[in-house]
Structure 1
Amino acid sequence: MIRLCGIGGVYLFVVPLFLFYWMNNRWNVMGKFERLFIYGLVFLFFPGMVLFAPFLNLRMNGKEES
């Protein structure tokens, strides 16, 4: 039972947070195969991504005016 909760916690919390972090840091420099791999992981871990989506702001910073 504890092992099942651990696997569920990794599936719903740990991996989705890592994916949000990875996408936020690498969005502009990802290659096409890395982007395809990340999209596949987002599809696989979609329930966890939906849990955190309302709380995380991943919009890009606009260009600052000079």
Structure 2
Amino acid sequence: MENIFNNSFAILIAYILVISFYLLVIPLLLFYWMNNRWNVMGKFERLGIYGLVFLFFPGLILFSPFLNLRLKGSSKG
């Protein structure tokens, strides 16, 4: 069992998993949640989302050029 914890490859895999969740998985879930619930959120849900946005800001910045959260207005122009 000691060999597993002293193995640098296992530590590298753990770092990659943590970083991928922090920069990729959770920010994408936050974008999805915000896109679906933005207009119907309660004040405590919005406060929680703002806290998560603050916490996962680097990952959200990575995806911000590719995702659009603007409302879809009427096509009348």
Q: Distance in 2 between matches of 1:15 and 1:26?
A: 16
Q: Kindly report the root-mean-square deviation, in angstroms, between the aligned alpha carbons of the 2 structures.
A: 0.8
Structure of larger gyration radius:
2
Give the counterpart of 1:35 among 31, 46, 51. Answer: 46
Q: 1:1-51 CA distances to partner (integer Å, 9 max, x unpaired)?
A: 101110000000000000000000000000000000000000000000000
Equivalent position of 2:17 in the other structure: 6
Q: What stretches of structure 2 of length at least 5 have no aligned partner? A: 1-11
TM score, norm. by length of structure 2 = 0.81
Question: One-letter code of the match for 1:23?
Answer: M
- The structural deviation recorded for 1:64 is 4.1
Q: What stretches of structure 1 of length at least 5 have no aligned partner? A: none
Q: Distance in 1 between matches of 2:38 and 2:59?
A: 20
If asked which structure has higher relative contact order (CA below 8 Å, sep 6+), I would say 1
The 4+ residue runs of structure 1 with deviation greater than 6 A are none
Question: One-letter code of the match for 2:60?
Answer: M
Note the 1:9-28 alignment, pairs <5 A: 9-28=20-39
TM score, norm. by length of structure 1 = 0.94
